[in-house]
Amino acid sequence: EIVMTQSPATLSVSPGERATLSCRASQSVSSNLAWYQQKPGQAPRLLIYGASTRATGIPARFSGTGSGTEFTLTISSLQSEDFAVYYCQQYNNWPRTFGQGTKVEIK
């Protein structure tokens, strides 16, 4: 199965700053990658699919780039509601797999 590795495990960022999260696949997943946000006690929320397409209702400050094995989620200016855990997920191969998550915390 494809192993998804996210870095860093924890990212400390001040409100208003840019956050850059990385996701690496153990083999190429083309552009078949999604990003999710999860807050404590809540279900995940889809942010990005197709590596760079924002899901319905997702603010423009969230952007995704990459293809193949290297992907990035950028939050251009962190708002208070953006502090959460972020997961990448590939859907190029079975089984679908998630990264272990990056926690974005307030600096």
Partner 1 sequence: QVQLVQSGAEVKKPGASVKVSCKASGYTFTNYGITWVRQAPGQGLEWMGWISTYKGNTNYAQKFQGRVTMTTDTSTTTAYMELRGLRSDDTAVYYCARDLGSSSSIAFDIWGQGTMVTVSS
Q: What is the dihedral of CA 94, 66, 69, 81, to 10 degrees?
A: -70
Q: Which of residues 1-60 bind partner 1 (CB under 8 A)?
A: 1, 32, 34, 36, 38, 43-46, 49, 55-56
d(CA 70, CA 99): 13
Q: How many amino acids of this chain bind partner 1 (CB under 8 A)?
A: 23
Q: What is the largest CA-CA distance in the chain?
A: 38
Q: Which of residues 51-80 bind partner 1 (CB under 8 A)?
A: 55-56
Beta carbon of residue 43, minimum distance to partner 1 (angstroms, whole number): 4
CA distances from 106 to 15, 71, 87, 98 (A): 7, 23, 18, 24
- Residue 100 binds to partner 1 (criterion: CB under 8 A): yes
Task: Kindly list the residues in this chain that would bind partner 1 in the complex (CB under 8 A).
Answer: 1, 32, 34, 36, 38, 43-46, 49, 55-56, 87, 89, 91, 94-101
